[in-house]
Amino acid sequence: MLERSLRPFLRPDTLSRRAEYRSEPTVNDTVGRNATTQVEIDTKGPILLGLVGTEEALSALIRLPDGTIERVGAGDTLGERDTVVGIDSDGVVVTRGPFTNRLRLL
């Protein structure tokens, strides 16, 4: 059992006190710049954010117009009126009454 609290070590004089920044971009900076693109998105309808799972059992992440995100599979109801008919590597097929729409990844 300790009789007194441990005392922290002092900072070594050889350790720099200010952060050093690189002047040249790193690989991560380049990847980040190339992977981030500006896209005009219509938020009045559902937006396909991504596909999850294996080819045999795909599900989709979809953003609804109210901002909520749902994970859905084939046969699920999307929001209040849409039905997910199918999911493949190209996107999601959704029906609303007699109308069919394919959501694609941006």
Please tell me the pTM assigned to this model.
0.62
Q: How many domains does the chain have?
A: 1
- Could you tell me if residue 7 is inside a domain? no
What is the per-residue DSSP string for 25-61? --HHHHHHHHH-------TTS-EEEEEES-TTS-EEE
Range of the domain at 83: 47-103
The answer to whether the beta carbons of residues 51 and 60 sit under 8 Å apart is yes
- Per-residue model confidence as pLDDT tens digits over 5-27: 777 777 777 776 666 666 666 66
14, part of any domain: no
Q: What is the pLDDT of residues 40-52, one digit of tens each?
A: 788 888 999 999 9
